[in-house]
Structure 1
Amino acid sequence: MNPRIKRWLLSYAAAAVIFAAIDVVWILTVANRQYESQIPHLMAPSVNGPGAVAFYLIFVAGIVHFGIRPNDPDATLRQRVTGAALYGFFTYATWALTALAILDGFPAVVALTDIAWGAAVCSAVTWLTATLLRRKLAVRTGSATG
């Protein structure tokens, strides 16, 4: 197998496991409680499994591409984490601010919490994955400029 593809797939697998673990804890300890107290009228009676799986598969690919960057040996850890934070910020902001704009009674606190979570979780997943795979990815720890 091509080494570039192998690095990408390894990064994807590691990031998927890390993201799923962190996100499940977040959902069970924070998000569900906030959603149930703030937007119970929007909550479905059960999770849409195919929708959730599709989200995770696609979203993790974005974390790998914009954050981990397994085939960019010149990217520093700081650059990777910054890219991931921006990816999480913009993607979660797209959802949260759209909901705020078009859903009647969607609370700003839910939107702000989701946006902050997006930036934080993408940063954490990238940092953990890049640190775990440091040797395979040739991650540099220098500053963003050098």
Structure 2
Amino acid sequence: MNHRVKNWLTAYAVAAVIFAVLDAVWILGVANPLYRSTIGGLLAEKTNFVAAVLFYVIFVAGMVHFGVRPNSTDLTLRQRIAGAALFGFFTYATWALTGLAVLRDFPALVAVTDILWGAAACSIVTWLTAGILRRRLASRVP
């Protein structure tokens, strides 16, 4: 396996673990109570775990590609975090604003909260991942 692929997969694994923990805390502590109290009637009785896993697999790949960028050794931490924040903002805004546009009684509070969470979560995950992989992110491909 070449160095670039190994860098990317390592960054993916680290980001995936961090995001899973961070998002679990978010879902249990903030999102679940907020969703139940504001859009409870829209929620499914059971979570579709296949869809949830697919979301995490795809979303973490996006965070690594647009935020961590493990093979871009010339980027500053600020540039990585800015890319991640924008990725989180745009992706969560897509979901939240679509919900606001097409779902009856979808609250603006949920939309705004989710958009802010997307930007913050991606920024935090990228910051922590980049910190853990600091040496790897700064090294040139041999």
**Common topology (TM > 0.5):** yes
CA distance in 2: counterparts of 1:99 and 1:124, whole angstroms: 25
- Equivalent residues in 2 for 1:113-128 (5 A)? 113-128=113-128
Deviation, structure 1 residue 22? 0.1
Deviation, structure 1 residue 111? 0.1
Task: Describe the superposition over 1:35-93 as per-residue Cα deviations: whole angstroms up to 9, x where unpaired.
Answer: 00000110111110000000000000000000000000001000000000000000000
1:27 partnered with 2:27 = yes
Which amino acid letter does the alignment assign opposite residue 89 of structure 1? F
CA distance in 2: counterparts of 1:3 and 1:14, whole angstroms: 16
Task: Describe the superposition over 1:89-122 as per-residue Cα deviations: whole angstroms up to 9, x where unpaired.
Answer: 0000000000000000000000000000000000
Deviation, structure 1 residue 137? 1.0
Structure 1 vs Structure 2 CA RMSD:
0.7
CA distance in 2: counterparts of 1:36 and 1:49, whole angstroms: 19
User: 1:143 aligns to what?
Assistant: none
Structure 2 unmatched runs, 5+: none
Which amino acid letter does the alignment assign opposite residue 98 of structure 2? T
Which amino acid letter does the alignment assign opposite residue 57 of structure 1? V
Aligned-partner SS, 1:75:
coil
CA distance in 2: counterparts of 1:89 and 1:29, whole angstroms: 21
User: 2:62 aligns to what?
Assistant: 62
User: 2:135 aligns to what?
Assistant: 135
TM-score, normalisation: structure 1: 0.94
